[in-house]
Amino acid sequence: MFKNLKTKLIVVYSVALICFISFLLVYSSRHIHKEFTLFLKTELQQSIDYINTYCLSFHKPINKQFFTYEIVTALKNLSQKSSLRITIIQNDGTVLFDTDANPEIMENHLYRPEILEARKNGTGMATRFSNTIGADMLYVASYYSNYYIRTAKSMSTINMLIESITRNIVIAGIIVLIISITVTAIFATAFTRPIKESLRFIDAFFNGNLHARILNYKDDEMGYLQKAMNQLADNIQQRIMELTNEKNKLFMIIESIHDPIALIDEDKKIVIYNRAFANCFEYPERLTGKYYFTVIRHSELNAKIYIAFSQKQKISFEETIGAKNFHIFIYPFAEPATGILLLMHDVTEQKRIQQLKSDLVGNLSHELKTPISIIRGYLETIKDNICDQKTAEQFIENALINVERQNAIINDMLKLNQLETSSFITSESIDLKKIISQCVELLTPKIQKKNLAIVMDIQSLPQTITGNAFLAEEIFFNLIDNAINYNNPGGSITISANKESTLLSISIADTGVGIPPDEIPRIFERFYRVDKSRSRETGGTGLGLSIVKHAALIMGWTVDVTSSSSGSTFRIIIPSV
Ligand code: ADP
């Protein structure tokens, strides 16, 4: 009814006070009435005794003739002085004398209660409304063998007294009530203030303001309670901070993992996940609280998650999602809550490397096997003596050419491997003009043999650039070598340099067989040859352009190719010169 503690206190206190005042009123009025009646009775009794003594002093029988003018006057005087009504009644109830009425017309009084009691006990008392007087009266009567003396007094005094006392008590009560309510209100305000402050604090704290505290608490029980609440808040804040830190660390760890991870609770909703997980399923919104099957749109994976949930068993399997391969682990857990941990280990790169390795082993074995078979063929023929001396020498020569090819393949493989684990590569100032000229010089016998013209337009090259001499040599040697190998006899090779703002480009153009457009993307792969027999004829290993691409990549250079049936142009682009 009253929610406010202050109002409750005031109402309860006021009701208690009103009850107390009411009780005081009833009790005091009754007590006063009783005591006053007793006092009045004693007074009336004394008057009776006095009247009787007065009447007896005449030594005459008390009858109608007894009341002479003198006696009547004396009794009326006494009645007036003492505000008494005096009545003298004969034994049979006939009224002989009455101060307030004419006895002649008064009815028989024998059965008046006070008279009946007086006859029985000697004295009698009654209170009633007198029609003669028109007021509440107290009657006291005494019986003297053949007559009764009755005195009566109006009770209006007592009623007035009780009324006055009641009025005073009510006024005093109202004053006390007003003062009490004011004092109670002041006290209740002071008493409830710390409670209100505490409630304000609890409200703020539970609504997330962890810094809220109760200030200025007093040195009493309530203050002690408030201090304890503050300490409790300190502890909770400390724990929340610790937990938040732990949570942040956990999130950082999860975020730093490149594999998709998600924690799904028993309601099948995502609780924790990392960015890799969100990216993997390309879900545009926040995933927390979403059902896993609304995010993971992959029926096989969802079926496995369902199994892990129902069988509560760890499951691991491989699955392709989008363009990626994953080794997926699903760990069901029961502590501290039930759910599953989904860990998707991205094995795409691993698979690619594995594939590359097996391709490489296949290619390499194939490349090495062919010359070995040829060498074995020649050697077996010589061993079996089925050819003459001259042919045998020719066979040995051929076997040596194939040994040389194997050597070239192994050397190129070692070079490639060296480039791939390129920790030894250093940056230095290199003179490209010098490097290109040295390569041309080394290859001059081959150029002359094929009767090729060589045009050099590399004057615009800067004196030095930053790079690596070994790698630059590998690049230009292989490209010029290819321009010779795949050129037509009598053709030409043009080496030109061009500088455009910060870019430097060096082109090696030949007038050879060219490369079909659909083959161009593949020529940088290991052992890839457009024309296998031609490559073999020229002593090619199929690794030259792979070395060029790797070496360029290490130095931040790029290589591009344009080709037609009238020749090819390989262009090296060197940035930030
Ligand atoms: P190879 O040792 O066989 O020359 P490369 O890796 O250097 O191996 O070249 C790969 C293939 O690219 C060659 O077999 C050849 O078919 C083609 N190729 C390379 N350079 C040229 C060029 N200048 N003109 C035509 N074809 C070329």
CB distance 541 to ligand 1 below 6 Å: yes
Q: How far apart are CA 406 and CA 389, in angstroms?
A: 26
Tens of pLDDT along 499-558?
Answer: 888 899 999 999 999 999 999 999 999 888 998 887 777 778 899 999 999 999 999 999
Condensed to tens digits (0 to 9), the pLDDT of residues 205-240 reads 989 888 888 887 788 888 899 899 999 999 999 999
Is 523 close to ligand 1, i.e. is its CB under 6 Å away? yes
Q: State the chain's mean pLDDT as an integer.
A: 90
Residue type, 204: A
Q: 345 with 328: CB under 8 angstroms?
A: yes
Measured between alpha carbons, how far is residue 522 from residues 200, 518, 561 in Å?
75, 8, 11
* pLDDT for residue 236: 93
pLDDT tens digits for range 253-283: 999 998 999 999 999 999 999 999 999 988 8
Ligand 1 center to 530 CA (angstroms): 7
Ligand 1 atom nearest residue 478's Cα: 7
Sign of the CA dihedral running 157, 158, 164, 165:
positive
What domains are there in the chain, each with its CATH number? 5-160 (3.30.450.20), 257-346 (3.30.450.20), 351-421 (1.10.287.130), 428-574 (3.30.565.10)
**How many Å apart are CA 14 and CA 19, to the nearest integer?**
9
Task: Say if pTM beats, i.e. exceeds, 0.85.
Answer: no
Return the pLDDT at 422: 67
Q: Name the residue of 406, 478, 531, 545 whose CB sits within 8 Å of the most ligand 1 atoms, as the mutation to test its pocket.
A: 545
User: 377-425: per-residue pLDDT in tens?
Assistant: 988 888 887 778 888 889 899 899 889 988 988 998 888 888 877 666 7
Give the integer Cα–Cα distance in Å for 483 and 569. Answer: 9
Residue located nearest, by CA, to atom 3 of ligand 1: 542
pLDDT at 166 (0 to 100):
84
Token pair in block for residue 498? 């061009």
CB 452 within 8 A of CB 491: yes
Q: What is the spatial distance between Cα 97 and Cα 151, in angstroms, rounded to a whole number?
A: 11
C-alpha to C-alpha distance for 9 and 4, rounded to whole angstroms: 9
Pick the atom of ligand 1 nearest to 541's CA: 2
Alpha-carbon torsion 276, 279, 280, 286, what sign? positive
Give the mutation target among 404, 409, 450, 535 for probing the ligand 1 site: most ligand atoms within 8 A of CB: 535
Q: What is the CA radius of gyration of the chain?
A: 66
Atom of ligand 1 lying closest to residue 510 CA: 23
Nearest to 136 by CA among 155, 110, 115, 113: 155
Q: Which is the closest atom of ligand 1 to the Cα of 570?
A: 23
Dist. CA 452 → ligand 1 center (Å): 18
- What are the two backbone dihedrals, phi and then psi, of residue 560, each rounded to the nearest 5 degrees? -130, 165
Assess whether the previous peptide bond of 336 is cis (omega < 30° from 0). Answer: yes
Distance from chain centroid for Cα 228: 25
